[in-house]
Structure 1
Amino acid sequence: MDEGLIITFISVAMFVGCFVLGFIPLLFGLSERSLQFVSILGAGLLCGTALAITIPEGVGLLEESWRGEPWELYTLSWMTTLGLVIHAAADGFALGAAVATGQVTVQVIVFFAVILHKAPTAFALVTFLMHAGLERKYIQGHLLAFSAASPIVAITTYFILHALSSTGMGMLFSAGTFLYVATVHVLPEVSSSRTSRPSSDLQQHTGAETHQQRYLGLLESLTLILGVGLPMVLSLGLRDD
């Protein structure tokens, strides 16, 4: 299949999935415990994808390029949404770089890592806006902006990297963003005790809460290990021709 069609299809799927997932807090009540496990699994997937898939693939692409030609309250709500839109743009960059490699294994694993990371963030964004007292139509607008950020950046990144033949550098950059998000944003958030609001990387953009650090429990640790190991298992099962 043409890579242009692939990136378009994946971007549309990511937009629809993120937008629909963001509606869940508006329709159903979600416990903080449930959000924590989804966040931990997403963090593990980001780490595993970066270490087992993205970095090796990026280094391999760089080596190939070196052998060839030379390489050349309302205010707070808006601030929160803007911060998460910029945050989502990094996910879009990673997905665009993955499609530019032409490797099905990389594309599939990065897609699942991104969508599992975005799900709890979308939940937390909508929940926060509901607590802020925004009307439903404005919440939907914020969710629309957040959901559209990654697909737009993914498509843009794909065509830029494809034109510049810089896919290797793009993959290494996206690996860095994966590791940063997982280790600096997500894991510190889910390992913190809170008195209110679901835990996610949302609070990194608000800076409103104080919390105490605690260790991950057994089930949380196993969930993290599962997330880290899953990309490696998928890479063995999804071999490119």
Structure 2
Amino acid sequence: METFLWLFLLSMTMFIGSFLAGSIPLAFHLSEDRLRTISAFGVGLLVGTSLIVIIPEGIETLYNNPSDNDSDHDHDHDRANHHYIGFALISGFAMMFVIDQIDSSHGHNHTRGNVVSLTELRSLANSGDRDDEDHEMLGGSSSIHKKPASATIGLVIHAAADGIALGASASQPALELIVFLAIMLHKAPAAFGLSTILLREAYTRRQIRKHLLTFSLAAPLSAIFTYSLLQRSGEIDPIGMKWWTAVLLLFSGGTFLYVAMHVMQDVTSGNGKDNGFNGHNIIKMKKSHVAFMLLGMFMPLLLQFEHGHGH
């Protein structure tokens, strides 16, 4: 019960934090540089959490899963686990890739790229009146409103995948806290970007809050559902629950790496006004952004050491 209450508390915090972050554009403007700084730290934390925390924890949980003592069986068991690790990781990565491709294919006639990624959210938000004028000249008023709706759907699916990671890690508080921080630091800019797009496309504040509410609820509900499912399976088959926990952690590691790759494109690209190549110029990152990204990458390691001293 204590584990569920802690998960519920984190889920509520995540919901409130995402909703408040998305409400910022409704109140005041946040500079692009500050948003990029948050994104730089967030992407570093995503990479670090995947490689330092989630994936190693998933592997350890998988190999610690009890099996028969027979040595030949143990050898086969380890070989099977080897395949499960790779399959779970690539499945998480591939799922996010397919979702993005399906989503972008719906809007290929009127968007420059993937509408789900933070890169596209940010470029749409910052393109300003120039893009609005282009849409008016093309008579694309109906297509304008497809982009934000499509972005909302894509981001909701992304958030649900994040919730799986939180739910799967619920039985280990130290791991769960690091996963929570990583999720929050990339959900906040995503919520901010989504609200900015909806404002640009003349959505009412009531409509924006509905989109934002849907996005903010996705990860908490997914986390609670995943945890409940694992607990139910644990009552029937404890060993099976441990196996599924490991596989879901590895699956989440793959989704985190994919999201990190996309956010990294956003941080390392500028608004391309002259080259016409997908609307972006590849630019050298500011030293402060590099520093924040590296800090984010190693933050999970520092948090692990801190928790290690406490045990």
* 2:12 counterpart residue number: 12
Which structure would you say has the larger Rg?
2
> In structure 1, the residue corresponding to 2:16 is in which secondary structure?
helix
* 1:51 counterpart residue number: 51
* 2:214 counterpart residue number: 145
| Seq. identity, % | 41
Moved more, 20-29 or 132-141: 20-29
CA positional deviation for 1:98: 1.4
Q: Which amino acid aligns with 2:46?
A: L
CA positional deviation for 1:7: 1.7
* 2:61 counterpart residue number: 61
Indicate which of 121, 141, 147 corresponds to 1:76. Answer: 147
* 1:187 counterpart residue number: 264
Structure 1 gaps, min length 5: 197-208
Q: Which amino acid aligns with 2:67?
A: R
CA distance in 1, matches of 2:37, 2:184: 15
Structure 1 residues 140 and 213: alpha-carbon distance in aligned structure 2, compared to 1, 3 A threshold: same
Task: Tell me the alpha carbon deviations over residues 40-89 of structure 1, each in whole angstroms, 9 at most, x when there is no partner.
Answer: 11100011111111111101100111536989x22222111111111111
* 1:216 counterpart residue number: 285
User: Is contact 1:44–1:224 with CA below 8 Å preserved after alignment?
Assistant: yes
Structure 2 gaps, min length 5: 70-76, 82-143, 234-239
Q: Which amino acid aligns with 2:166?
A: L
Task: Tell me the alpha carbon deviations over residues 103-148 of structure 1, each in whole angstroms, 9 at most, x when there is no partner.
Answer: 2210111111100111111110000100011001000000000000
The two structures have a TM-score, normalised by structure 2, of 0.69
> In structure 2, the residue corresponding to 1:23 is in which secondary structure?
helix
CA positional deviation for 1:2: 2.2
Task: Tell me the alpha carbon deviations over residues 179-235 of structure 1, each in whole angstroms, 9 at most, x when there is no partner.
Answer: 11102x100112111169xxxxxxxxxxxx611112222111111100001110011
CA distance in 2, matches of 1:68, 1:141: 52
The two structures have a TM-score, normalised by structure 1, of 0.88
User: Is contact 1:40–1:220 with CA below 8 Å preserved after alignment?
Assistant: yes
Q: Which amino acid aligns with 2:146?
A: T
Map 1:117-128 onto structure 2 (within 5 A): 117-128=186-197
Q: Which amino acid aligns with 2:269?
A: S
* 1:236 counterpart residue number: 305
> In structure 2, the residue corresponding to 1:134 is in which secondary structure?
coil
Q: Which amino acid aligns with 2:45?
A: L
Indicate which of 254, 260, 263 corresponds to 1:176. Answer: 254
User: Is contact 1:104–1:238 with CA below 8 Å preserved after alignment?
Assistant: no
